[in-house]
Amino acid sequence: MHGPAALQLTPDGRLKHLLTTEGLPKSLITELLDTAETFLSSQGQPVKKVPLLRGKTVVNLFFENSTRTRTTFDIAAHRLSADVVTLDIRTSSASKGETLFDTLKNLEAMQADLFVVRHSAGGAPFFIADRVTPNIAVINAGDGTHAHPTQALLDLMTIRKHKGDPANLSVAIIGDLKHSRVARSLIHGLRGMGCPDIRAIGPGTLLPSDLGHLGVHTFHNIDDGLRDVDVVVLLRLQKERMTSALLPSEREFFNLYGMTESRLALAKDNAIVMHPGPINRGVEIANEVADGPQAVILDQVTNGIAIRMAVMAMTLSTQQGGHS
């Protein structure tokens, strides 16, 4: 093994850290999804907690703002009975000039067992995973425009739950793929699961140039790209793309690429619509679609808790030398 795989997997192929979906074998992705399914079934119980991580300390290291990702990691850790510490970087020593490495070493000295890291710099979670003591697990909760593996896994879980094995499906991803860590991680995850038809739909300014190398088919016309797909994944359009002249306006984007009922009708009759959130109504998606029967956006949120429980359970099981 080399690269990310060498860092996040043990020599015998178990999950040591979760940093990226790139190179994750199908068997391991399937194990994560299956484990999450078992946790999902417990969420309907009156007592949702399981004692799996009792006595363990999970530290949320969010160097970048987040609401739903941080909250779902928080809930997931509590449901596994872990102790949770959320570090507000804006008021921590890091804001006073302490280096990432020094922050890390101080947290290690506090006997943390798992770091959940979100950082605006691509590669920061890899830097941390490469330098932590061997008994600490690291989960990437989003780094720059690079990766967001738990989002990709919850998306795969949602797809599998509603549409079956991704190896039999056509998936369209619409919007700003160029700056989206969600899209990048999902593409790697879909490839790992053997998805035969991945489509990228958007203006040339918002599509990466290397998509062909990943086996992704590119469409600039949304009608052409949507025909007969099983899954439609919409990406959040970030306001800063407007000011950087990559797009003329939100209205123009909606006219060209917004998901409307008539456009959705081009996909298969039972196609599902997904969005990592938060959604911009009237920009990426019309109200009728967002609130319609084919949208599974709230399911994604529910599945996110179960996936993050599974990732925590499996990485810490590996760090303890046990088998998940």
pLDDT for residue 4 is more than 70: no
- 191 plus 99 within the same structural domain: no
Q: What is the mean pLDDT of the segment spanning 226-246?
A: 81
Q: What is the pTM of this model?
A: 0.93
Q: What sign does the dihedral 312-318-321-324 (CA atoms) show?
A: positive
Query: What is the Cα–Cα distance from 55 to 113, expressed in whole angstroms?
Result: 10
- Number of structural domains in the chain: 2
Query: What is the Cα–Cα distance from 58 to 29, expressed in whole angstroms?
Result: 22
Q: Name the pairing type of β-strands 114-119 and 57-62.
A: parallel
Q: What is the mean pLDDT of the segment spanning 190-205?
A: 96
- 32 plus 158 within the same structural domain: no
pLDDT for residue 226 is more than 50: yes
Q: Decide: 20 and 140 in contact? Cβ < 8 Å.
A: yes
- 142 plus 158 within the same structural domain: no
| Within a domain: 139 | yes
Residues that are catalytic? 68-69, 96, 118, 148
| Helix or strand run (H / E) with residue 108 | helix 100-109
Q: What is the mean pLDDT of the segment spanning 10-18?
A: 93
Q: What is the CA radius of gyration of the chain?
A: 19
**Which residues fall within 8 angstroms of residue 11, CB to CB, at 6 or more apart?**
1
Which residues constitute the domain of residue 252?
149-301
| Within a domain: 324 | no
- 124 plus 134 within the same structural domain: yes
Q: What is the CATH number of the domain that holds 28?
A: 3.40.50.1370
- 138 plus 153 within the same structural domain: no
pLDDT for residue 125 is more than 80: yes
pLDDT for residue 95 is more than 70: no
CA atoms within 13 Å, Cβ hemisphere of 211: 25
Q: Structure tokens of 92? A: 């921590």
* 149-173 tens-digit pLDDT: 999 999 999 999 999 999 999 999 9
